[in-house]
Amino acid sequence: MLGRMEGRYDVVIVGGGPAGLAAAIGAREGGAGRCLVIDREPEAGGILLQCIHSGFGLHYFKQELTGPEYAERFLLDALEHDVDVVPDSYVCGIGLDSDGEKRVRVLSDHYGLRTVSCRAVVLCMGCRERTRGAIRIPGTRPSGVLTAGLAQKFTNMMGYLPGRRVAILGSGDIGLIMARRLVLEGCEVVGVFELMPYSNGLTRNVVQCLDDFGIPLNLSTTVTEIMGQDRLSGIKVAPVGPGFKPDMSSERTIDCDTLLLSIGLIPENELSQSLGISLDVTTKGPIVNSTLETSLPGVFACGNVLHVHDLVDFVTGEALRAGRHAGEYSRGIRRAQDNIKLVPGDNVRYCLPHSLSTGHEHQIFMRCKEPMKPCEIIVGDIMRKRLSFVVPAEMIMFRIKPDALEHFQGDTLRIDIRPIEK
């Protein structure tokens, strides 16, 4: 469905996936008069459109939906909020005027090359999969080696099976879900091979997608060679020892015609880099303050372009907040500058946002480096939170209440995860 594109908006959202649609709704709720969502795909909805399995919406809607159902609800809600949604369009760049006005250059299949001006921009470009080139697997270059997300698109949207006897490298959630999907389509999944000593997917996906279907999960194991000429004929795998070095004496050959790669996601931040926005070296996404505003005033970021999420429900909540702040910004409303820097400590890979302000409640997102149980989150000397366990694959979220920061005197607040002695 093609929406209209005018020359002037209060807020422009780059990306029409779950983050972009929620950010548009949030912007309208934040008081923005006119909002535009620009999406490069023929239809808004993002990756959800190819995720035909159920399990979405349990947190936000309190019911189980498929990906397309979840996306449809937000698309209809955005249209009811009188948001203009333009698919088949690309943002070529964003120019900044001296008065703070943003000029978004858009290349559209329908409208041609246009420049749209606005007061605020929300970046919602999502993320992309890491490929074979990122990990440099030795061997030949046959067909049959592809990312799990591409295999999902082939299977669910285009009606093509990627192969018949499938191995999966990496235990990311898309790979786990595709293991189940391919078994249901009559394929044989010979195993999932994970470099780390723990799964990088949600526990529920390990249980529902692997254990329930008898698919083996081989931890501390990696692919050491790809074999085949025109078509993949097999792979070699080996356990890894200290420093993740493969033990070649235990190398074995697995016959298969397809290898799916589920080895991580990277936020799509080429546009952010072109704007000179400061990026976090750990998340690969923008550095943001407590309103999810980047280092560039009036430019906000949320969803997987900021940091890779586990569940779309959490993307939605974050995007609604970013959109509301962008809507307020477009009306000239500014929150007082953050005065506390949030920094990761023991067993904390990263924490967001990167700074806080006193007098407000804050939603904190973070991930651990290593599994730990039981444990405790220690936020400086202002709060503690006990947890039964933490694992790197699952996001940790909690809130810091305004009264917890009321008497905080420093300018840096450190977060640690430490074990609780039994």
Residue 6 lies in a domain: no
Whichever domain contains 356, its CATH number is: 2.60.40
pLDDT level of residue 274 (50, 70, 90 thresholds): very high
* Three-state secondary-structure class, residue 312: helix
pLDDT at 203 over 80: yes
Read off the pLDDT band of 1 (50, 70, 90).
Answer: low
Are the beta carbons of 250 and 162 closer than 8 angstroms?
A: no
User: For the segment 331-371, what is each residue's pLDDT rounded down to a tens digit?
Assistant: 999 988 999 999 999 999 999 999 999 989 999 999 999 99
User: Is residue 1 assigned to a domain?
Assistant: no
d(CA 237, CA 231): 18
- CB-based contacts of 167: which residues, under 8 Å, 6+ apart? 189, 190, 191, 193, 223, 235, 254, 256, 258, 259, 260
Q: Is the pLDDT of residue 145 over 90?
A: yes
- 191 to each of 46, 211, 226, 350, how far by Cα in Å? 29, 11, 15, 31
Q: What is the DSSP string of 121-146?
A: EEE---EEE--HHHHT--B---BTEE
Considering 330, 349, 368, which residue would you say is the last residue of a domain?
330
Residue 2 pLDDT: 63
Last residue of one domain, picked from the residues 247, 263, 279: 263
| Per-residue pLDDT tens over the stretch 115-132 | 999 999 999 999 999 999
Q: For position 182, what pLDDT does the model report?
A: 98
Q: Which of 47-51, 108-112, 279-283, 290-294 comes out lowest in average pLDDT?
A: 108-112
Within a domain: 400: yes
- The answer on 401 and 375 residing in a single domain is yes
pLDDT at residue 100, rounded to an integer: 85
Domain termination residue (choose one: 242, 263, 284): 263
State the pLDDT at residue 6: 87
Q: Looking at the structure, do residues 138 and 107 belong to the same domain, yes or no? A: no
Band (pLDDT 50/70/90 cuts) for residue 98 is: confident
Residue among 71, 125, 126 nearest 308 (CA): 126
Same domain, 351 and 326: no
CA distance 105 to 362: 34
**Does an H or E element contain 159, and which?**
none
Average pLDDT over residues 209-224: 97
Same domain, 159 and 248: yes
The per-residue pLDDT for range 278-326, each reduced to its tens digit, is 999 999 999 999 999 999 999 999 999 999 999 999 999 999 999 999 9
Which domain does 123 fall in, by range?
Answer: 11-128+266-330
Provide the pairing of β-strand 11-14 with 120-123. parallel
**Residue partners of 282: CB distance under 8 A and separation at least 6:** 344, 349, 350
pLDDT at residue 99 in the model: 85
Both 160 and 231 in one domain: the answer is yes
CA dist 47 and 199 (Å) reads 22
Token output for 413? 């607040």
Question: Can you tell me the mean pLDDT for 140-157?
Answer: 97
Closest CA to 3 of 140, 127, 111: 111
Same domain, 223 and 288: no
pLDDT at 283: 97
Q: How far is CA 297 from CA 276, 283, 322, 343, in A?
A: 12, 21, 13, 22
Pair (300, 370) in one structural domain: no
Tokens 């008065």 sit on residue: 99
Count of alpha carbons within 13 angstroms of residue 329, beta-carbon side: 29
Percent of the chain with pLDDT over 70: 99
Asked, for residue 379, whether it belongs to a domain, the answer is yes
| CATH code for the domain in which residue 284 is found | 3.50.50.60
Same domain, 160 and 217: yes
Total Cβ atoms within 10 A of residue 55: 18
In a domain, 223, yes or no: yes
Mean pLDDT of the chain: 95
151 and 203 part of one domain: yes
Specify the pLDDT at position 306.
98
- Would residue 286 count as lying in a domain? yes
Domain assignment of residue 335, yes or no: no
Average pLDDT of the residues in 391-395: 95
Segment 219-259, tens digit of pLDDT: 999 999 999 999 999 999 999 999 999 999 999 999 999 99
Structure confidence at residue 406 as a pLDDT band (50, 70, 90): confident
Residues for the chain: how many in total?
Answer: 422
Handedness of CA 277, 281, 282, 284 (dihedral sign): positive
The CA distance from 151 to 211, in Å, is 21
286 and 402 both lie in a single domain: no
**How many domains are contained in the chain?**
3
240 and 195 Cβ atoms separated by less than 8 Å: yes
Q: Retrieve residue 415's tokens.
A: 């977060």
Say if residue 146 is in the same domain as residue 66. Answer: no
Distance separating alpha carbons of residues 38 and 87, to the nearest angstrom: 6
Asked whether residue 322 falls in the same domain as residue 369, the answer is no
In sign, the C-alpha dihedral spanning 53, 352, 118, 77 is positive
In a domain? residue 5: no
Model pLDDT, residue 409: 86
As given in the structure block, the two tokens for residue 83 are 């948001």
